[in-house]
Amino acid sequence: MRGLHLTADLHGCRCAPQWLVDAPLLGAWCQQAVRDAGLQPVGQLFHRFPDTAQGPGGVTATVLLAESHLCVHTWPEQAAVTLDVYVCNFGADHRRQAQALLDALVARFEPAQVLRQALERGVTPPAPPGGRA
């Protein structure tokens, strides 16, 4: 359960528009980025949402990893993307690979602004005073 959960909210993405709307293209690129980062893809689902009055539908790209998961959600009408990379550190420490994957994803979308967050998962809380929960 111990691991690292990285997220990034990308705004003002200046990438070519197809990266925000083409599910097969984005999905194939995500799978390669996972491998390039040294992680192991074990499953995937790529879905394009229908167009709306606000513009073209976005994409959800999910790659299941032996180490956990990658999720990408695009918002073409806002030139925005949300990223979610979680790796468990059960058999080995995968922090470096997770960071490399997130960096590659950020670079792909060429955002004007990025908000990154990191959360350590599965940290054992300290025992309460007196040793009782």
- Looking at the annotation, which residues are catalytic? 68, 73, 88
Give the Cα separation of 67 and 5 in Å (integer).
11
In DSSP terms, which residues pair with 1 in a beta bridge?
none
- What the block records as the tokens of 5 is 């959960």
- What the block records as the tokens of 52 is 């709306």
Written as one letter, the residue type at 101 is L
